[in-house]
Amino acid sequence: MKVYFLTGEEYPSFFDEHKENIFRAVHFSHSFDNSDSVLGRASIVPIGEKSYEIWVSEDPVKKFVRNNTLVYQSGNLLYARFESDDSAGLEDTAYNLYLRVFELRDSLNANLVRIWNYVPNILDESDNLERYRQFNVGRRKAWDEVGPKNNNNNIVTPSASGIGALGGALKIGVLLSTHKPIHIQNERQTNAYEYSQKYGPKPPTFSRATYVEGVGLFISGTASIVGEDTLHVGNPIEQTQETMNNIETLISLENLSKYNISKEYSLKSITDWRLYIKHIHQAKIIEDKFLDIIDKDDVNHILLHDDICRKDLLVEIEGVIFEQ
39 touches 11 (CB < 8 A): no
Q: What is the pLDDT along the chain (324 residues), one digit of tens a residue?
A: 999 999 999 999 999 999 999 999 999 999 999 999 999 999 999 999 999 999 999 999 999 999 999 999 999 999 999 999 988 899 999 999 999 999 999 999 999 999 999 999 999 998 899 999 999 999 999 999 999 999 999 999 999 999 999 999 999 999 999 999 999 999 999 999 999 999 999 999 999 999 999 999 999 999 999 999 999 999 999 999 999 999 999 999 999 999 999 999 999 999 999 999 999 999 999 999 999 999 998 999 999 999 999 999 999 999 999 996
pLDDT of residue 324: 65
Please report, for residues 113, 180, 181, 322, the alpha-carbon distance to residue 213 in angstroms, rounded to integers and kept in the order given.
12, 8, 7, 10
The pTM (predicted TM-score) of the whole model is: 0.97
Q: Which domains, and CATH codes, for the chain?
A: 2-322 (3.30.1330.40)
pLDDT of residue 99: 98
Q: Write the single-letter amino acid at 27.
A: H
Q: If you write DSSP's letter for every residue of 3-33 in order, what string do you get? A: EEEEETTTHHHHHHHHGGGEEEEEEESS--P
Query: Residues with Cβ < 8 Å from 245, sequence gap 6 or more?
Result: 188
Q: How far apart are CA 318 and CA 53, in angstroms?
A: 14
pLDDT of residue 87: 86
Please report, for residues 36, 46, 156, the alpha-carbon distance to residue 312 in angstroms, rounded to integers and kept in the order given.
34, 21, 28
pLDDT of residue 108: 98
Residue 113: how many CB atoms within 10 A of its CB? Answer: 25
